[in-house]
Every structure is written in C-alpha cells, then in structure tokens.
Structure 1
C-alpha cells in the first residue's frame, strides 16, 4: 500500500528551471499588466466588473469539483435570492469566501489563520462537506481517489495529520517571505504545495484556487484580487490533476545513492517546470479572455447608455443602466435597493427599455424579472 507522502519544504531552488520559464514569465507579466490597465480604465466601474468576474470564477472553480451551476442560475439567484439549490449555495459560499479573503488581508497576513476562516465560510451554511470540520485542519488521514475507493487504491495519500501544522507553518513563511522568486512562479509553487499538503478533509482544491488571486493581490502584483485562472484549469482539468500529482515525486536519499539522487533532482526540476509552465499558460489565456470581456462590456456600456438616454435623457436613467450592468438579471425591487427612484418613474423607464429591446421581461404579473442578455452572453 502507498504511504503518506512527505513533501519538500519551501523554498527549494532545485524545483525551478529559470532559463526554461524565462520567456513564459515575461509574456504572462505583460498580459496581466495589460489586463490590469484595462480594468482600471474601464468605463464600467472596475469594482462592478470585478464582482461579475469573481462570480464567474466561483462557478468555474466549483465546476472543477463537480458542482454544477450556470452563470444564468447565479444571476437569477442574485436577483431575488429565491430558488436556491445546493450547488448555488456552494458557489455562493466560494464567492463570499473570496470577498472575505480580500477584506481579511487588511487585518491578517495571508496565513493558516486566514485560510481556516475562508474554509469555514466555504463549507458553512449546511452545505455538502459541512460535516468535514469547517475551519479546522484535519486530524485524520485523508486520500485522493475515485469515489468510493479505499485508501489502498488511492492515487495520492497526503502527509500524515500530525505533520499538517508543520507543513502549513512552512507554507505560511514561504507565502510571506520577501525573496527574488517571481510572484507567478511562487504562487504556482504555493498552489501545488497547498494541494499536496491537503490540510482539510474537504474543499482543498477550491481553497487552493482562492489563494491564487489573494496571494498576487497581497504581494501588490495585481491592483485587486482579479486574476482568475479556474476556467482554463477546468478546461484541462485532467492535465491539471496529472501535473499536480506528478510533483509528488519521491526523491532518493542522497546518502543511499548519490547518482540516483542527482537523476531524481533533474527529473523533479522538469516535473515542477512542466507544472509552472502550464500554470503560466493558464494565466496568459485567462488574461486574454478577461481583456476581451472588458472591451466588449465597455463597448456594450456605450451602446446601452447611448440608446437609453436617447429615449429618456436623465441622470436617473443613467443610474438605472449602471444598476443593470451590476445585475444583468434583476427585479424592480433590486433596482430600488440600489438607487432612489419613484416606482411610477421606474415602471416607465423599464417599459421603454423593453420596447427598445435593450432588456427583456418574463412578463409575469408579479415579481417580474428583466434580462439584459447582451451582457449575460458576454459573461457566459
């Protein structure tokens, strides 16, 4: 039977082939910088874009774990908080944990204490996994395998529970250490190490992916916690799993066989560089996609604002359009919760917007919902 894995402690300069990764790091840095500038200069408020992108990230990261929900379902739920399913709860918890992480960094370092808080939120509220000691590191042995499989058939057995605190303390130090390792390479190592330690009984993958934007934001590499890579990871999820699993390589003890040790170190460096290269590609791909989305949303904002103000040229109409960009599926009550406007005025505005086919209505006599499909389609 396989034994629990004993990871490397970090930092470990034997894991990085800087020469191989040099060009990819430069490319990733460039694309992320362009994305950051696009976000900061957006005509749609950056915090509103971030909110929508965070929701999409929550969906994609949860999808990797088999949680099924769509952007349409999440936007529907946000419009009135009705018709909630277990999957919607889990995605919502992820979204909330990500926001809590950003606020938490104002008072806490990025460390085990904050990570435990995020885990408690992720598995809170009576969802699946809620019995798996939310907010606490595991005190029993866990393992990764197919559903229903036994530990002897595991694809990976993480470190023994009594070692979790020690490995997480080492990871805490590494995350907060000022060194000369590029931040993108470093978060790739952090993510792999966290998944290798697997400190919780459930939710490790999702917490590990939440750490990516939080770490980069905490280091000042990005202006907000806005770099989301889960969509790319989900599209290649079996490669993602395989590359992570490959990093759990047992190196021969140098004293037992020095020649084999040297060969193993060469192999480990290639394995880690394969993982980091894949991660950097995900960063580049997602930066491209996010840049494209920002450009399309800004173009749509100009068109929607121009069309709507030609119908009714007022500051109130402009405010309504701003709310619609925040909530692409909405009710009258949602708009009234975001701005002060008489009901009769709002009714008139919405009627005009529907007639102009800027938005669409389900035409229900009560609790009517409106759909801004042009924005929803960009987010899908």
Structure 2
C-alpha cells in the first residue's frame, strides 16, 4: 500500500494557476450563478420557500460523511413520526441534520455584521456538533493533536490523507483566514475553490470538518454579494463525485494540482447552479399555482396561510397545522380534509387514539429530492 499523502506545508496560497484553462469555466460559472441569483430575488420569502432545499443540502452533506437518513425521514421525525422505519440511529442522524441547518442559519445571520472568520466557524462548529456524534471531540475548538483521513479505525500509516501537523495548525488557520478576507486579484469563484480545499486540507477540528467546509460555500457567496442569500447547495455534485472530490484533495498536496481542483470545482458550480435554478423555479411554480388553486378549492379566506404553512413544513402533524397556521380550528380541519381529498396532501401515518395523523406535501418533497419519493 502506498504511503499516505501529507499536507502541502508551505504550498498555500498556490503559487501558480493555469488561468488560460480556467477562464472559460469562470465565465460560465459566473453566468450560471447570476441566473440563479436573479431567480432568488424573484422568490418571495426565499428562506421559507427554499427551506426544503436547505434540508436536502444538509442531508447530502451529511451523507458524504456516512449518514443514511433521507430528507423525508428527517421531516417525519421532526413532525413527531414514530413509524416502523424510524429507528434510534435515524433519529440521531436527523439531529445532525437539524444542527447543520441551525449552524448555517446562525452563521448567515452573523455575516450581516462580521466577517467569515475562524471565530465564527468555531461558533458554527459548536452548534453543528451539539449533542450529536462527535460531541465528545471538543466542539468549537481547534484540534491539538494530529488527525488523518482514511478507513474507520485505520492507523495513520494506512491513511489516505494526513492534514497539517498540529504544531503548524494555528499558523495555517491564520494564513487561510487572511486569504478569505483578501480582495485578491483572483476571480472570487476560484478563490472560493482554493478556500474550500485548503480548509479541508487543514482539517482544523477533530470531527465535522467536511460538513463545515461545505457550509463555507454558501456563506462565502453570500458574504461577497455573489448571491443575495446563503441559498446555494453543492453537496449533490460532491456526493455524486465523492471519489473525485477526495482524490482532488489528495492531488493538491501530492502534486500541487490546484488548477485541476479549481476546474473540478468550477464545473460543480455550473452544474449545481443550473440544478438549483431548476428546483427553485419548480418550487416557485408550485407555490404560485397553489396560491391560485387553494382559495378555489377551500373557499376560505385562510387559504393563503395554509399554503405558507405547507411550504414551511412539508411534513407535519395535524395539530401543528392547527396551532401554527393561525387558522381557526374548525376551518383548519376542513382545509386539511379538502387538501387530502384533492391529493395535495397525503397521510403518511394515520392517527389513532392520541397519535395524530402526519401529512406530507408530495409535490414539494419530490422537487427537493429530485425524484418521486411519495
């Protein structure tokens, strides 16, 4: 077996990038992101309407780290579901997904008045790891010992990659932080590619580095004004090309292959911007159609409230709809019944005794997951 690839000490920031190779991709990626952001600006309350995409991003980012819970299962668990497939491991993984969303929301809010910095990342990391797998690995604190990447339980000699030694870590983080804030002549998308890979190569925490490193992507795009909100989801591309993703990290330290990595990353930005735009447009289309159809279906002045609730909680227990929508109970019950009969809602757990019915909004879930799940 070959020796592990070790961190490129002294090799960051990269001394040379093949700009001629990257320029076409840079233009395509910037154009794709601009089109996506134009759509975001047209979506009313994008944070709510796109929340299923944020959940799916959290699911896929965690899947890269070995979780198996699906978005539908996460939402069912949050709604109080206890079906046959809802095991304790699934509940634990769903908690990791919730933490991801909490950390991302916190960090995006923090960026309104302070920069993307190591301190902010430590705070986000503490939220990410709160009460879940890895909670015993000093959440919110940089590591003080060597770590490595490889098969679970392997020795460092069998690792695929060994990050920066702990005695150089703080200096490495300082260099990384200065690069994040520099108004470098580099195109900011190439800068983001380099920022992301360097963070993963530093691997500054004992656990949670992959998820936090991917969280940096929407935060940087938001901070730099490239996107009007932290609504960019790239884990689908990285999860589908996981082997290429990991090999690119190794190739930078082993061969100085920064240009190869940047090309891989820029292609991912293009593909994900296009896919994110397609999904966001589909969600907006369904939302606008629901705003037109639901009043006719329910003959209720509260139809708009019902629609807003469904997009914020596409899986929910019936009492929560009644309590949170602001609709009077008899009217809320009638609206639920009409939406179910029309096929807009589907019960995924029938109520019995004190156990309420749990409903799902299949159109929205299918868009977010990119396949028919209900």
* TM-score (norm: length of structure 1): 0.89
Pair 65,327 (structure 1): closer, same or farther in 2 beyond 3 Å: same
Pair 329,41 (structure 1): closer, same or farther in 2 beyond 3 Å: same
Pair 9,28 (structure 1): closer, same or farther in 2 beyond 3 Å: same
Pair 317,208 (structure 1): closer, same or farther in 2 beyond 3 Å: same
Pair 202,282 (structure 1): closer, same or farther in 2 beyond 3 Å: same
Aligned-partner SS, 1:315: coil
Counterparts of 1:1-380 in structure 2 under 5 Å?
5-8=7-10, 10-14=12-16, 16-42=17-43, 45-80=45-80, 85-125=91-131, 127-249=132-254, 268=256, 271-361=257-347, 362-365=349-352, 366-380=355-369
Q: Distance in 2 between matches of 1:312 and 1:139?
A: 60
Post-superposition CA distance 1:283-341 (Å, at most 9, x none): 11111111111222222223333332112333311110111111111123322343322
Q: CA RMSD in A?
A: 1.9
Q: Distance in 1 between matches of 2:203 and 2:243?
A: 18
Aligned-partner SS, 1:330: strand
Pair 54,318 (structure 1): closer, same or farther in 2 beyond 3 Å: same
Tell me by how many angstroms 1:351 deviates: 1.0
Q: Distance in 2 between matches of 1:4 and 1:323?
A: 50
Q: Distance in 1 between matches of 2:223 and 2:304?
A: 35
Aligned-partner SS, 1:221: coil
Aligned-partner SS, 1:245: helix
Q: Distance in 2 between matches of 1:359 and 1:65?
A: 33
Tell me by how many angstroms 1:171 deviates: 0.6
Aligned-partner SS, 1:128: coil
Q: Distance in 2 between matches of 1:5 and 1:369?
A: 49
Pair 360,97 (structure 1): closer, same or farther in 2 beyond 3 Å: same
Tell me by how many angstroms 1:106 deviates: 2.8
Q: Distance in 1 between matches of 2:68 and 2:161?
A: 25
Pair 214,237 (structure 1): closer, same or farther in 2 beyond 3 Å: same
**1:262 — aligned with what?**
none
Q: Distance in 1 between matches of 2:232 and 2:363?
A: 24
Aligned-partner SS, 2:125: helix
Aligned-partner SS, 2:276: helix
* TM-score (norm: length of structure 2): 0.90
Runs of 5+ unmatched residues, structure 1: 250-266
Tell me by how many angstroms 1:45 deviates: 2.9
Tell me by how many angstroms 1:114 deviates: 0.8
Maintained 8 Å contact 1:4/1:160: no
Runs of 5+ unmatched residues, structure 2: 370-374
Maintained 8 Å contact 1:28/1:283: yes
Tell me by how many angstroms 1:378 deviates: 0.9
**1:264 — aligned with what?**
none
Number of aligned positions between the proteins: 358
Q: Distance in 1 between matches of 2:147 and 2:288?
A: 52
Q: Distance in 2 between matches of 1:352 and 1:154?
A: 57
Tell me by how many angstroms 1:216 deviates: 1.4
Maintained 8 Å contact 1:7/1:197: no
Aligned-partner SS, 1:85: helix
Q: Distance in 2 between matches of 1:191 and 1:280?
A: 12
